[in-house]
């Protein structure tokens, strides 16, 4: 049975209603963040709190950007958020029905031996490495992929880049507080983090395009999700290994 069952069930209620705007997403994330932080003894060290705080920060900035096709980007943001909210609802109703990369995070959310940066990274892993390709495919049903939309998709990498330094310090990430801003360690850590984000997001676009161009999209999508679940779960386990 999931730990903190009552808390998880309340989170499922918070995200039950659909989101139709990016401010809706930010509002739901804020509610999840506040309730999860106040309903467990872990407080700000709760795994759901750690990821949701990061996710809200990025989402707020995404809404302030300009895009070649804003309608596409908004739809993608909504499809993306819906997968996180669905994972919360699934876990609350039947733990085994939640996607495995998310289940790893939710199961471990109150483990005091896991650092905040690990929880945040595990959430990013589940959301980008598992959810993003599926969110792209759902969005493309109404906004088919083209060069302009791919450029808009890539622009989100710049949003991550602007927050990397602050997020690494906020989560006490490795080298996050070594030296001063602009030091060799600081710049190198930012570059490594940026490369990882850009690479995983680029892979999501490639994976989704392979399904989009397949003769049998539904079969290809199912196969893709199975493969992504295995990869994201393996990485998630590694990210959540307690620091002893």
Backbone φ and ψ of 220, nearest 5°: -65, -40
Whether the CB-CB separation of 189 and 173 falls below 8 Å is answered with yes
Note the pLDDT of residue 178: 46
Count Cβ atoms within 10 A of the Cβ of residue 43 and give its class: 0-12 exposed, 13-18 middle, 19 or more buried. Answer: exposed
Position 10 scores a pLDDT of 92
CB 145 within 8 A of CB 170: no
Residue 87 φ/ψ, nearest 5 degrees? -60, -40
pTM: 0.89
Please report the pLDDT score of residue 160 as a whole number: 84
The span from the CA of 183 to the CA of 195, in Å, is: 18
- Mean pLDDT, consecutive 10-residue segments, the chain of 244 residues? 61 96 98 89 88 95 95 98 98 95 96 92 95 98 98 93 73 53 46 72 97 98 98 95 75
Q: Where are the domains of the chain?
A: 5-239
Spatial distance between the Cα atoms of 170 and 44, rounded to a whole number of angstroms: 11
Greatest pairwise CA separation for the chain in angstroms: 54
CA dist 16 → 1, 45, 96 (Å): 21, 24, 19
pLDDT, residue 68, reads: 98
- Give the single-character DSSP code of 241: -
Q: Tell me the Cα Rg of the chain.
A: 17
pLDDT at 197: 82
């Amino acid at each position: 049975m999931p730990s903190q069952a009552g808390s998880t069930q309340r989170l499922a209620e918070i995200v039950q209603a659909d989101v139709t705007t990016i401010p809706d997403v930010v509002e739901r994330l804020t509610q999840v963040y506040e309730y999860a932080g106040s309903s467990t003894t872990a407080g700000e060290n709760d795994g759901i709190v750690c990821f949701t705080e990061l996710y809200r920060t990025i989402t707020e900035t995404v809404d302030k950007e300009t895009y070649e096709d804003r309608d596409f980007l908004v739809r993608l943001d909504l499809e993306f958020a819906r997968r996180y909210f669905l994972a919360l609802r699934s876990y609350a109703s039947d733990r085994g029905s939640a996607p495995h990369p998310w289940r790893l995070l939710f199961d471990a959310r109150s483990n005091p031996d896991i650092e905040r940066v690990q929880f945040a990274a595990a959430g990013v892993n589940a959301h980008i490495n598992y959810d993003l390709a599926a969110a792209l495919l759902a969005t493309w049903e109404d906004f088919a992929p083209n060069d302009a939309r791919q450029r808009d998709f890539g622009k989100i990498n710049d949003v991550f880049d602007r927050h990397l330094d602050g997020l690494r310090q906020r989560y006490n990430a490795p080298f996050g507080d070594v030296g001063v801003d602009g030091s060799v360690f600081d710049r190198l850590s930012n570059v490594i983090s940026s490369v990882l984000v850009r690479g995983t997001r680029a892979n999501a676009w490639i994976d989704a395009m392979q399904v989009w161009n397949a003769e049998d999209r539904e079969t290809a999508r199912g196969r893709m999700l199975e493969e992504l679940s295995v990869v994201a779960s393996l990485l998630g386990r590694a990210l959540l290994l307690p620091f002893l």
